[in-house]
Amino acid sequence: MTTESVLIEQLKQGDEAAFKSIVTQWQNMVYNTVLGIVQNNTEAEDITQEVFIKVFENISSFKGESKFSTWLYRIAITKALDFLRSKKRKKRFGFMKSLFGNEHEEEPRLTDFSHPGVRLDNKERSAVLFKAIGKLPDNQKAAFTLHKLEGLSYQEISEVMHTTVSAVESLMSRAKVNLRKELEEFYNYNYK
């Protein structure tokens, strides 16, 4: 048995030390993945905590049919995308309230954040890129984040997203086209 499988078995028995070890080992990966999707440090920290609470509560459902990291990525992506969907619903509700003369809420702004994988000298360009990534449809955003920010292969992404490798290839292709369109104006490229 590997150390990871021992920790998982201990966690299934309710061992808090095993849980702490799992959090220590995987928290940066989970945080970076969530941050790449929600693009807000505070929200990414909160969602990361929610991911590990879900792991603790649902570890008995982990059967070992996939790698633990795959299962963990799946939870992180789901939590991050659920958060964004909830945020969109609240934004629409706020818009409806403003139409009917209720509280005038200020438009939420993208907070300044820095992803751990971005060097300081690339901060301006990365801000533009992350803004463009934020506009991608959810599945494209998830696939792009897992591949480009987390370095997962298309095969690993297909396992995380419960889809085929060809579907991941298609998502990545469409994400690249959408990002190219979005970034074209900023970088003054002329694509012919």
Tell me which of 84, 110, 136 is where a domain ends.
110
Instruction: Look at 30-34, 118-122, 126-130, 131-135 and tell me which has the smallest mean pLDDT.
Output: 118-122
Domains held by the chain: number: 2
User: Are 64 and 133 found together in one domain?
Assistant: no
Considering the domain architecture, whether residues 106 and 119 belong to the same structural domain is answered as no
Residue 148: domain span: 114-192
If asked whether residues 120 and 79 sit together in one domain, one would say no
Q: Which residue has the higher pLDDT, 48 or 191?
A: 48
**Which residue, 178, 173, 180, is CA-closest to 143?**
173
Q: Could you tell me if 50 and 26 lie in one domain?
A: yes
Domain end, chosen from 79, 110, 141, is at: 110
Let me know whether 79 and 125 are in one domain.
Answer: no
Q: Which amino acid is residue 103, in one-letter code?
A: E
Whole-prediction pTM: 0.76
Mean pLDDT along residues 51-57 = 96
The encoded tokens of residue 91 equal: 């934004």
If asked whether residues 14 and 95 sit together in one domain, one would say: yes
CATH number, domain containing residue 60:
1.10.1740.10
Q: Measured between alpha carbons, how far apart are the two ends of the chain, in Å?
A: 55
Burial class (CB in 10 A: 0-12, 13-18, 19+), 44: buried
| CA dihedral for 69, 150, 76, 15, sign (positive or negative) | positive
Residue 114 has a pLDDT of: 56
Judgement on whether residues 92 and 187 belong to the same structural domain of the protein: no
Q: How far is CA 19 from CA 12, 28, 85, 124, 148, in A?
A: 9, 15, 29, 38, 29
- CATH number, domain of 131, equals 1.10.10.10
Q: Is it the case that residue 87 has pLDDT exceeding 50? A: yes
Q: How far is 109 from 45, CA to CA, in rounded Å? A: 18
pLDDT value at position 79? 96
* Domain identity same for 98 and 8: yes
What DSSP letter does each residue of 101-164 carry, written as one string?
T---PPPP-PPP---TTS-GGGHHHHHHHHHHHHTS-HHHHHHHIIIIIT---HHHHHHHTTS-
User: Which DSSP helix (H) or strand (E) runs through 14?
Assistant: none
pLDDT for 182 equals 86
Looking at the fold, whether 33 and 50 belong to one and the same domain comes out as yes
pLDDT at residue 148 above 50? yes
Determine the pLDDT at residue 127: 77
* Chain segment 99-120, per-residue pLDDT in tens: 555 444 443 344 455 565 555 5
- The average pLDDT across 142-160 equals 94
Unique residue bearing structure tokens 């820095």: 114
| 35 phi and psi angles, rounded to 5 deg | -60, -40
Report the chain's mean pLDDT, rounded to a whole number: 83
| Choice between 20 and 104, residue whose per-residue pLDDT is larger | 20
Residue with tokens 């619903």: 89
Percent of the chain predicted with pLDDT > 70: 77
Among 110, 145, 161, identify where a domain stops.
Answer: 110
Whether residues 39 and 123 share a domain: the answer is no
Same domain, 69 and 120: no
Average pLDDT rounded to a whole number, residues 57-75: 93
Looking at per-residue pLDDT, the higher value among 102 and 122 belongs to 122
Which pLDDT score, from 0 to 100, does residue 31 have?
96
Statement to judge: residues 61 and 106 lie in one domain:
yes
